[in-house]
Chains A and B, each alone.
Chain A
Amino acid sequence: MIERLVHWSRVKSPWVLHLNAGGGCNGCDIEILAALMPRFDLERFGVQLKGTPRHADVMICTGAITLQNRDRVLRIYEQVPDPKFVVAAGACAMAGCVYRGSYHTLVGIDQLLPVNAYVPGCPFRPAALIDAVVKLLNSVK
């Protein structure tokens, strides 16, 4: 009974951590914020942006991981309670974008963390992020 309640609340109201992995241009970060603003309003799906990883269910990662930020990203991932989901948002998080081949970035988030959903685009539109979150929630159901 309680398990079902927990599952229901997790699907109905996932809490989201926005993590900038470093090697991006912050265009995606701004689009994530724009997705939460009145026009796109991601919050109508129960999604709430949280400041700390310990409260989050879903990690939205933007940017390619820089080497200096690598261990911090791992630590933040470990702090998110199970079950956790990772969304790689934007071209940098997927495959490195223009920074591919740089001496200080990894090519994509999936080199370090298991990724559940990818959002393509440089940067993606807020609508694409909403689509990804809804698809992720449907797959969890």
Chain B
Amino acid sequence: MEYKVSLGPQHPALHEAVSLRMTLDGEVIRDADLKLGYSHRGIEKLAEERSYIQNIYLTERICGICSHSHTTCFTQGVEQLMELVPARRGLFIRTLIAELERVHSHLLWLGVAGQEAGFESFFMYTWRDREVVLDILEWISGNRVHYAMNIFGGVRRDIDELQRKKILDSLDLLKKRTDYYLNLAASEPTFVGRLAGVGKLSREDAIALCAVGPTLRASGIASDVRKDDPYAVYGEIPFEVATADSCDVLGRAVVRVKELISSYAMIEFLLKNLPEGPFKVKAPRKVKPNEVYSRYEAPRGENVHYIKSNGSDKPERLKVRAPTLANYPATIAMLKKGFIADIPLIFAAIDPCICCAERLVQLDDARRGDSRVLSFSQLRSMANERAKKIDFKKRKIAWPF
């Protein structure tokens, strides 16, 4: 017999508000549907009201884990619009922060995966090591989560000799710990047994469903924006794109641990080859009318910002496509034919960042070809109308006992 189960928006396995509706046959998932919009904040609309400089801080708050990804993606797009060449030292520091962010994000994910697999001490281990990276980031930028390092034309703060030495020292510790995790992820039988074969996504499906990031690379496709379309100074850094062929959650864990190791090498390379010179150049206030499409490899996959300028100091349109949104169709495919107990693990394996992916989509009428532009007040009244329709009193649930 088939029956329906809903999971979320408030659920212990999910740290953010998202709702899953599943059709089950016994313990096997036959069909799954995602319901989004709980974290929609209207960032794209807010961005149109603010100047480019204010928007750096707004885009930073799209996501709290990959905050540097969104600002870099936005900043390098606007720099292209401004026809501004950023300072070379600034670009190195920007890349350094990006790699440090990848390290902290992957360590965070490893811990969450360990917790979902029932391996609590692994969770504690990785989060303890993550504090080392956060200390480095705090030492460079003054902040643990929102670094606010990017400005147009470079970065906000420089790195001195003492900081460089401290980062290199901390890296030794992190390398040792990561080797231990790689060993653990590859050889601990209970951990391997829990992750192997769960959430299969074949190579063909991964391409057809447009998966990105470690989810795609774990299906054996070496696709990485850092290699395919190098931005910042990635063209000069030697590194290999990490892949795995097992197409399951274990493969995604292995890809992330391999990326951690390659990130350490990249950080070392960046620190040793840090060029002398200014770390920022002066940027103009206004931007010529143009449009740009900016790509960035965030820890979760390809992050895309589309920016359209109209000659003023505010963007006319900002479109954000975060990696989690691109991975949703693949997640649904992975959930199908899976077991109900594997839901948190499969869902965690794409490293979901719900608030990254909450964008509004306005569908146009394809037959009539109507295209509507909604003003801010119209959107506000639409949202209010929708909220008014919810009858709070009717929803009161009686205590069953």
A interface residues (Cβ-Cβ under 8 A, vs B): 18-31, 33-34, 37-39, 51-53, 63-64, 66-72, 74-76, 97-99, 101-105, 122-123, 125
User: Can you identify 8 A-B contacts, CB atoms within 8 angstroms?
Assistant: A22-B17, A26-B16, A26-B355, A30-B64, A69-B9, A69-B38, A99-B42, A103-B42
**Interface of A: prevailing SS:** mixed
Interface residues of B in 369-401 (CB under 8 A from A): 376, 379-380, 382-384, 386-387, 390, 392, 395, 397
- Taking a contact as CB atoms closer than 8 A, the residue among A34, A38, A51, A99 that contacts B41 in the complex is A99
Of B76-84, B124-132, B149-157, B263-271, the one with at least 4 CB within 8 A of chain A: B124-132
Contact B64 A123 (CB under 8 A): yes
Report yes or no: B10 in contact with A122, Cβ–Cβ below 8 A: no
Interface string of B31-53 (1 = CB under 8 A from A): 00000011111110110010000
Contacts of B395 in A (CB 8 A): 71, 75
**B321 contacts A by Cβ under 8 Å:** no
Contacts of B67 in A (CB 8 A): 25, 27
- Contacting pair B38 A22 (CB below 8 A): yes
CB distance from B378 to the nearest CB of A (A): 9
Give the contacts of B2-61 with A (CB-CB under 8 A): 9-12, 15-17, 37-43, 45-46, 49, 57-58, 61
Chain B residue total in the interface (Cβ 8 A): 50
Q: Which residues of chain A have C-beta atoms less than 8 A from B384's C-beta?
A: 67
Chain B residue with minimal CB distance to A39? B131
Known: A25-B64, A102-B45, A104-B42. 19 other contacts (CB 8 A): A20-B10, A20-B15, A22-B17, A22-B38, A22-B40, A22-B41, A24-B64, A25-B62, A26-B16, A29-B16, A34-B130, A34-B131, A52-B12, A53-B10, A68-B386, A69-B38, A71-B392, A72-B9, A125-B144
A76 x B10 contact (CB < 8 A)? yes
- Tell me if B65 counts as interface (CB < 8 A to partner A): yes
Could you tell me which residues of chain B, from 118 to 175, have a CB within 8 Å of some CB in chain A?
Answer: 124, 127-128, 130-131, 134, 144-146
B46 touching A99, Cβ below 8 Å: yes
User: Is B63 an interface position by the 8 A CB rule?
Assistant: yes
Cβ of A37 to closest chain B Cβ, rounded Å: 4
Q: How far is the CB of B273 from chain A (nearest CB, A)?
A: 31
Docked-complex contact A37 and B124, CB < 8 angstroms: yes
Alpha-carbon distance A22/B17, docked complex (angstroms): 6
Contacts of B62 in A (CB 8 A): 25
